[in-house]
Amino acid sequence: MGNKNKTISFRVNEDAFETLREIAEERDISLSAVFRNYVDMLVAHDGQVQVVPEHEVDEGDDSSSFPPKVEVPKSFVREHERLELEAEHLRDQLEEHRRYVTQLRQRVEEQDGEEVIQLEELDDETDREEPFKLG
């Protein structure tokens, strides 16, 4: 159970291929070695590799890292957490409201056989003799 190498193949456009070949020639290594070096670097840095031209590497600020990190005040984090809790509460309320509306619709569907009297109709028939019962 040794460490077995795997082969990766992919396509690049002609311009990119020529550029990669030039890089390999400059470093006096094979084109495959260029890719192996890149993959090794990618694995070593847990996928966080930034490709920059060589002349920009020396100008780089040693204090900065890739990916960039930003400090956030605790008040911002607390506000974000508060808003997340509020959003969760509102989602719960919305779900409760939806269940209530579904329950009411089911009750209306179950009572289709019963007579439903609209209040507007009662106003039109004010001279009716028999009283209405609610409930």
Hey, where are the domains in the chain? 14-54, 76-111
pTM score > 0.85 for this model? no
The three-point CA angle 103-105-125 to 5° equals 130
| Rounded Cα–Cα distance for residues 91 and 106 (Å) | 22
Lowest-pLDDT range of 41-50, 54-63, 94-103: 54-63
Residue type, 110: E
pLDDT of residue 92: 96
CA distance linking residue 103 with residue 111, whole number of Å: 12
Structure confidence by residue, pLDDT tens digits, 65-123: 666 777 888 998 899 999 999 999 999 999 999 999 999 888 888 876 666 667 776 66
**pLDDT of 11 above 70:** yes
